[in-house]
Amino acid sequence: MKIQERTGAGQGRSAAPAQPSVGDRLPTPPRERKPALAALAVLLILVGALGATMLVLQAGDRIEVVKVTEEIQAGGSVTNSNVTSVMVAEDSSIHYIKWSLLDDLKKLKAVSTIPAGAVAVGEMFGDKVAASDGKTLVGLSLKAGQFPTGIKVGDTVAAYRVTEGGSATGNSSASTSGSDNSLLVGKAVVTATPGDKGDDELVGSTNSAYTLAVGSDEAAALAQAAANNEVVLVLVPSSN
């Protein structure tokens, strides 16, 4: 009887769960996947690669153009000493002058004053310089001694009527033309010189052709004096 009671008592108790051995690890839950973050990372990589590609392509589209290093007065020309080459991004809306066209550019004239540091574009140059409002262009054919050596386009000059002996005076009694004063033009701007030749060639030539921009009311007297070979030019500081 005692054996049966003990057996029944044992059947009423639940078996205790088996404990894991000391060397076994507990199972870890699987990591949660985030496809949205993975897609964003891929997208950022693609955008970065595309940006780098665009920079490389833009660098490949750069062209060599003309840049002005010294101020060029209206009517002046490009020389080897007043320009240099720079690289710029090509833009069809801007009429850059390519460095390879430098020799052709030297044949043209600046239509207005071009400041140093400006990148040259086609609109800055032309075959000739037109007179500005209220100004008239007068051509002069002068002999050596009737103009200062080294005169260049953009310079400001004064034009005097000379006496028969070839000297200019500041009073009416010394003038053989009958004018009230020997000063014909107080300020005239040189717009053209004899083919941009060197000073030695200018002095050695028989006659040198210059063009001056003068006031319309001064043009007739200057042209008449020039026709009679009675004009001498004097360089005047442009600030005066």
Which residues touch 145 (CB under 8 Å, ≥6 apart)? 166, 232
For residue 67, being part of any structural domain is answered with yes
Mean pLDDT of 195-222: 70
pLDDT of 103 reads 92
Are both 147 and 196 inside the same structural domain?
A: yes
Query: Does residue 213 have a pLDDT over 90?
Result: no
Q: What is the CATH number of the domain that holds 88?
A: 3.90.1210.10
Choose between 175 and 226: higher pLDDT: 226
Q: Indicate the number of domains in the chain.
A: 2
pLDDT of 82 reads 93
pLDDT tens-place string over residues 139-171: 898 888 899 888 887 788 999 998 665 445 443
Query: Does residue 200 have a pLDDT over 50?
Result: no
Cα separation, 41 vs 139, in Å, equals 74
Which residues touch 101 (CB under 8 Å, ≥6 apart)? 66
pLDDT of 46 reads 81
Instruction: Reduce the DSSP state of residue 60 to 3 states and report it.
Output: helix
Q: Which two tokens stand for residue 181?
A: 């004063």
pLDDT of 11 reads 55
Nearest Cα residue to 211 out of 193, 184, 185, 237: 193
Query: Does residue 189 have a pLDDT over 70?
Result: yes
Report percent pLDDT > 70 for the chain. 65
Measured from the Cβ of residue 97, the count of other Cβ atoms closer than 10 Å reads: 21
Are both 121 and 200 inside the same structural domain?
A: no
Mean pLDDT of 206-226: 87
The edge-to-edge listing of strands for the beta sheet with 183-192 is: 135-142, 208-215, 183-192, 156-161, 231-236
Q: Domain range spanning residue 78?
A: 62-126
Are both 218 and 163 inside the same structural domain?
A: yes
Mean pLDDT of 21-35: 61
Instruction: Reduce the DSSP state of residue 51 to 3 states and report it.
Output: helix
Are both 162 and 223 inside the same structural domain?
A: yes
For the chain, the average pLDDT equals 75
pLDDT tens-place string over residues 32-77: 666 777 777 777 888 787 777 666 555 558 899 999 999 887 777 8
